[in-house]
Amino acid sequence: MESNYNPYSFPNQKETLPNATAVLVLGILSIVFCWCCYLPSIIMGIIAIVLGAQGRTLYRSNPEKYTQASYSNLNAGFICGIVGLALTILVLLFAITRAIMNPDSANEYQRLLERF
């Protein structure tokens, strides 16, 4: 007769939410890259929002199963993903508007990049 008893396991031990750290990292990177790399920032923001929404739904369905710390990390990453996506869209719209209003600004930007 086999027993499933494990003397090293703790009863009622809570789990971390899946992808909580990944959501936090992607959300922060989305904010960091919103000033220079538009496409990666948009992709990271969207992934952080989607994974964060899934994790929040999972936590709300069974909150006693998961740790509060992992939910806090997931929530912070979800919010950072929203902020990063919004900032990226605003910066991109500003860059497009500036290029339309002042066509020479694209040439100035190119010269600036060539200096480095």
For 19-35, what is each residue's pLDDT tens digit?
Answer: 999 999 999 999 999 98
Which residue type does 114 have?
E
Give every CB contact of residue 25 below 8 A, 6+ residues apart in sequence: 77
Q: What angle do CA 29, 39, 41 make, to 5 degrees?
A: 15
pLDDT at residue number 74: 95
pLDDT at residue number 28: 97
Mean pLDDT, residues 57-84 taken together = 94
**pLDDT > 70: what percent of the chain?**
84
Both tokens of residue 84? 């990063």
Q: For the chain, what is the mean pLDDT?
A: 86
pTM of the predicted structure, to 2 decimals: 0.77
Assess contact for 99 and 106: CB atoms under 8 A.
yes
Give every CB contact of residue 67 below 8 A, 6+ residues apart in sequence: 14, 15, 16, 17
Q: How many Å from the N-terminal Cα to the C-terminal Cα in the chain?
A: 72
Least confident of 16-20, 45-49, 78-82: 16-20
